[in-house]
Amino acid sequence: MALRKPPLPRILLNDVSCMRNAQQILRHVNVSVHDGGALVLTGSNGSGKTTFLRMLAGFSKPSAGQILWNGHDITQSGIFHQYKLQLNWLSLKDAVKEKFTVLDNVQWFEVLEGKYGKSMPALELMGLGRLAKDKARMLSMGQRKRLQLARLLAIDRPIWLLDEPSVALDEEGVRLLEYIIAEHRKKGGIVIVATHLPIQIEDALNLRLPPRFPRRMTLVDMLDRADIA
Ligand SMILES: Nc1ncnc2c1ncn2[C@@H]1O[C@H](COP(=O)(O)OP(=O)(O)OP(=O)(O)O)[C@@H](O)[C@H]1O
């Protein structure tokens, strides 16, 4: 009887380190995520959670190690082209166009994606249906976050990279976020979340990034030390 090979993880970080501004931010990270999986990144301010997500989004490259998608290094240009079409990125910069209506702010992204018909149901699910025709400048911070989440649903790509997705959401908003994450995972989607606030995500892999090492001493620090001595 032939033994079946275990499936490749969809995403594999193999001994990945990352530098920013000549400082080492991440060191020797090893993580694998399969379809339907979730990874939750926690850690103190400046520990590197956003850096981790940016690297996965291809905005910065690992200084060592590899990020593999379906077993292929995402930094290879042919691979990156396909990989980036799998990603849906949500960050504190919400790219909401204030002069457009709420619906246009979602539909625009959906049309660019070559899709149709999901924007309005997504807004309704996120509790923004009755505001669809209003200008986006009327939205509160929490409503803007709900609009971003509606975009995730309308664009409907398999890998969600979410940087602090629950910031500004009320309790009902957080429950909706948890619901759409769970539903996305049921369809085989992957969710990678950086968060300070608790979000209920069943069977998620938790990665707590260690606090950053102290920055290198500046000339001022050295002079201060010389004063003490
Ligand atoms: N644009 C940048 N250029 C250079 N270095 C940066 C830049 N942004 C952040 N860093 C450095 O990277 C480190 C990690 O930042 P990052 O934003 O990844 O942390 P974080 O864990 O997401 O923090 P927070 O919890 O505050 O959002 C910071 O301490 C900072 O020194």
pLDDT digits (tens, 9 = 90+) for 16-59: 999 988 888 999 999 999 999 999 999 999 999 999 999 999 99
In a structure prediction context, what are the per-residue pLDDT tens digits for the chain, which is 229 residues long?
666 777 889 999 999 999 988 888 999 999 999 999 999 999 999 999 999 999 999 999 999 999 999 999 999 989 999 999 999 999 999 999 999 999 999 999 999 999 999 999 999 999 999 999 999 999 999 999 999 999 999 999 999 999 999 999 999 999 999 999 999 999 999 999 999 999 999 999 999 999 875 555 555 555 555 554 4
β-bridge pairing 11-20 and 23-33:
antiparallel
Residue 5, pLDDT score = 73
pTM, two decimal places: 0.90
Please give the pLDDT value at position 229.
44
Nearest CA owner, ligand 1 atom 25: 45
The pLDDT value recorded for residue 77 is 85
Backbone angles phi, psi at 160, to 5 degrees: -100, 125
User: In the block, which residue shows the tokens 């989607």?
Assistant: 189
Query: What is the predicted pLDDT for the residue at 216?
Result: 56
CA nearest ligand 1 atom 30, residue: 46
Q: Are 80 and 86 in contact (CB under 8 A)?
A: no
CA of 68 to the centre of ligand 1 (A): 23
C-alpha 90 – ligand 1 centre gap (Å): 17
Distance 91 CA to ligand 1 centre (A): 14
**Complex-level ipTM:** 0.95
Which contacts qualify for 195-201: CB closer than 8 Å, 24 or more apart? 195/40, 195/41, 195/42, 195/162, 195/164, 195/165, 195/166, 196/42, 196/164, 197/164, 197/166, 197/167, 199/40, 199/165, 199/166, 199/174, 201/38, 201/40
CA distance 64 to 127: 43
Q: Strands, E, within the chain: which ranges?
A: 11-20, 23-33, 38-42, 64-69, 72-73, 87-90, 159-163, 190-194, 205-208
Residues framing ligand 1 (Cβ under 6 A)? 20-21, 23, 25, 43, 45-51, 194, 212
Which class for 214: exposed (0-12), middle (13-18), buried (19 or more C-beta within 10 A)?
exposed
Minimal CA–CA distance to 193: which of 44, 8, 37, 62?
Answer: 37
Domains and CATH numbers, the chain: 36-58+87-211 (3.40.50.300)
- Using only C-alpha atoms, the chain has a radius of gyration, in whole angstroms, of 20
Distance 135 CA to ligand 1 centre (A): 33
Give, for ligand 1, the residue of 24, 41, 50 to mutate: max count of ligand atoms closer than 8 Å to Cβ.
50
Q: Which residue's alpha carbon is at the smallest distance from atom 31 of ligand 1?
A: 46
